[in-house]
Amino acid sequence: MNESALMVVFRLIHIVGGVFWAGTAFLIAWFLMPVQKATGMAGLTFVEELMVGKKLRVYLVLTMVFTILSGFAMYARMAIVTHGHWASSRMGMVLGFGALCGIVAGGLGASSGKRTGTRMIAFAETIRNSGGSTSPAQQADIDALLNKARGEMQVVAGLLVIAVAAMASARYL
């Protein structure tokens, strides 16, 4: 595969992956988590099936990794070809800032998602084993976890907005 074709492949992976990753982060932060909280055990069951049963969390992690790696490969190639000069250009710096936001979003999203998912699955199992209804204390714990996780996901989504804006505008700055 020649270098131009390889760059097209990296760009496609990066753009399509980034769209999926950022869009899913928004969906989760502003729609899915509030609905999960509002619908109680039914919402918890739905999200558990979506994330674990349908493996959305696996697809998100893989998409995040491939998006970051393809972006790194394109950035490194440009830096190497220009002996570092491109990285210090306005475009290179804006893309670097966007990449940094994406990497931080990936780290925060992965750690928060794993921690929240593990705790929510444990809550769901406890609730199912106790007859399917939550005690006020359990519901308070679930609500606190969802509020914290939603705040973290909103930060992730916000960082991804900055990353997407940087990627979309860097060429024109």
Confidence class of residue 125 from pLDDT cuts 50, 70 and 90?
confident
**Cα distance between residue 63 and residue 65, in whole Å:** 5
Half-sphere exposure of 37 (CA within 13 A, CB side): 17
CATH 1.20.120 fits 3-172, yes or no: yes
**Cα distance between residue 33 and residue 157, in whole Å:** 13
| pLDDT, mean of residues 26-50 | 89
Q: In the prediction, which pLDDT does 137 show?
A: 83
Report whether pLDDT(132) > 80: no
Confidence class of residue 34 from pLDDT cuts 50, 70 and 90?
very high
Cβ(108)–Cβ(32) below 8 Å: no
Q: In the prediction, which pLDDT does 84 show?
A: 93
116 compared with 58, residue with greater pLDDT:
58
- pTM over 0.85? The answer is yes
**Cα distance between residue 28 and residue 56, in whole Å:** 11
Report whether pLDDT(16) > 90: yes
**Cα distance between residue 166 and residue 173, in whole Å:** 10
**Cα distance between residue 117 and residue 55, in whole Å:** 12
**Cα distance between residue 138 and residue 131, in whole Å:** 13
Measured N-to-C along each axis, helices 136-169 and 33-48 cross at an angle, to the nearest 10 degrees, of 100
The per-residue pLDDT for range 73-102, each reduced to its tens digit, is 999 999 999 999 999 999 999 999 999 999
Report whether pLDDT(134) > 90: no
| pLDDT, mean of residues 114-135 | 80
Cβ(102)–Cβ(71) below 8 Å: yes
**Cα distance between residue 116 and residue 169, in whole Å:** 34
For the chain, which residues make up each domain, given as ranges? 3-172
Report whether pLDDT(107) > 90: yes
SS3 percent helix, strand, coil of the chain, rounded to 5, is: 90, 0, 10
29 compared with 133, residue with greater pLDDT:
29
Q: In the prediction, which pLDDT does 35 show?
A: 92
Q: In the prediction, which pLDDT does 127 show?
A: 79
Return the C-alpha torsion angle 41, 47, 51, 54, nearest 10.
100
Q: In the prediction, which pLDDT does 136 show?
A: 83
